[in-house]
Chains A and B, each alone.
Chain A
Amino acid sequence: AQKVTQAQTEISVVEKEDVTLDCVYETRDTTYYLFWYKQPPSGELVFLIRRNSFDEQNEISGRYSWNFQKSTSSFNFTITASQVVDSAVYFCALKCDSKLTFGKGITLSVRP
């Protein structure tokens, strides 16, 4: 069975602070994919990044960066110099075959 754990439920930071969102996953498959999605207050789910199990290279996209470590089954997401517009619920997800399993989500509030 696949499982995604996002232990943090709510995080509140002040604008310009860095913040890391944790994600731990469980799967017995050797081939799998990891994703992060953002759900802003408007409600839609926005795709942020995809990583496959064979590529442990970390990725940076502007203020966003992702740290994938198979040894600890983690796929953490860091926002540098957070902004108010980053306030949203962030979901980590694991894909095996075609099924996507989501974590419970982390509510990030960035205060001005």
Chain B
Amino acid sequence: DAGVIQSPRHEVTEMGQEVTLRCKPISGHNSLFWYRQTMMRGLELLIYFNNNVPIDDSGMPEDRFSAKMPNASFSTLKIQPSEPRDSAVYFCASSRSGSFSYNEQFFGPGTRLTVL
């Protein structure tokens, strides 16, 4: 079975450009999470969706960041305009969740973003 798929794996862009990161969760999983990993701040949850609906976006750093999940098999994280401080590894994860669920999250390989 395919795991969580992320694209691109690496992205290098210039400050001010729009960046779109993509994620395909594991089939049958109904929760999707976007994380950012940096040396300074570690792993941070940016936003998560349950059944395609954004549940908590309190981790989104600012209005330049937006995320969508138009259907159960696809999500995007967009940064517009990008800034050098957005450079990080962005992970997408999915899980099969419900009330009192303890199902583990499975992570994609990550997208390494570099903003020059």
Which of A's residues lie within 8 Å of B, judged by CB?
31, 33, 35, 37, 43-47, 50, 52, 91, 95, 98-105
A98:B50 contact, CB within 8 angstroms: yes
10 tightest A-B CB contacts, nearest first: A45-B107, A33-B102, A102-B43, A104-B42, A47-B104, A44-B109, A50-B104, A52-B102, A43-B110, A98-B97
Q: Take A43-B89, A43-B110, A45-B91 as given contacts and tell me if A102 and B104 are in contact as well, using a CB distance cutoff of 8 Å.
A: no
Q: Take A100-B33, A100-B45 as given contacts and tell me if A44 and B100 are in contact as well, using a CB distance cutoff of 8 Å.
A: no
Residues of A within 8 A of B105 (CB): 47, 100
B102:A95 contact, CB within 8 angstroms: yes
A43:B106 contact, CB within 8 angstroms: no
Residues of B within 8 A of A99 (CB): 45, 48, 56
B82 within 8 A of partner (CB): no
A98:B102 contact, CB within 8 angstroms: no
Closest Cβ of chain B: how far from A106's Cβ, in Å? Answer: 12
B31 within 8 A of partner (CB): yes
Chain A residue with the shortest CB-CB distance to B58:
A99
B55 within 8 A of partner (CB): yes
Q: Which of B31, B33, B56, B104 has the most C-beta atoms of chain A within 10 angstroms of its own C-beta?
A: B104
